[in-house]
Amino acid sequence: MTLKQTPSQTVGPFFAYGLTPEQYGYPFSGIAGGDLVTSEADGERIRIEGRVLDGAGEPINDAMIEIWQADGQGRYAHPLDPRGSNTGFKGFGRVGTGTDPQCRFIFNTVKPGSVDGRQAPHINVTVFARGLLIHATTRIYFSDEAEANARDPVLAQVPLERRSTLIAQRQSSQTGILYRFDIHMQGDAETVFFDI
């Protein structure tokens, strides 16, 4: 018998219903959502809003975004963090863009601290969407962290003219501190994605 390679397939759009059920009105609890803040979480409360845009600049209505981040002190909610796990902060969030009228992803979280004193505060982002054979990975940096961004070793590897695609812009909001971060999958403003 000759075995053949399993054919590849795209990611979704089926995944959003199973991985973000509450957004779609299903009576199941997902393991993660868009609210990472708990009462025990230390740090400055922030809101991150954005859209996933295709090459024509149109919003993608069935993308799914996952984030993984450190808390306000730069500690991850993980037992392998050498500084001790911060169990009071979830650190992981997942939302889909399909239920928001503007096709946005929204996360309520805390602004992360530097994880090692060299890296600027950042949030790790994974994008899943139809047409992607594998997920896309990027980072969110913050516009009000210019000094830290200038010395960040990962950001330093990105060509200067492309770094702005990784910077969330701080905006004033009636609901608190808001950072705007759109993810462009293709085109002239394409977000920098990392191979990991």
Helix H or strand E segment including 16 = helix 15-19
Confidence of residue 5 (pLDDT cuts 50, 70, 90): low
Residue 40: per-residue pLDDT: 76
Least confident stretch, 76-85, 94-103, 158-167: 76-85
pTM for the whole structure: 0.87
What integer best gives the mean pLDDT of the chain? 87
CATH 3.40.50.1390 fits 15-184, yes or no: no
Could you report the per-residue pLDDT of 122-180, keeping only the tens digit for each?
999 999 988 887 899 999 999 999 999 999 999 999 999 999 999 999 998 787 899 99
Confidence of residue 13 (pLDDT cuts 50, 70, 90): low
Least confident stretch, 9-23, 29-43, 55-69, 109-123: 9-23
Could you report the per-residue pLDDT of 14-45, keeping only the tens digit for each?
556 667 776 667 777 767 888 888 777 778 99
* In the chain, where the domains are located: 15-184
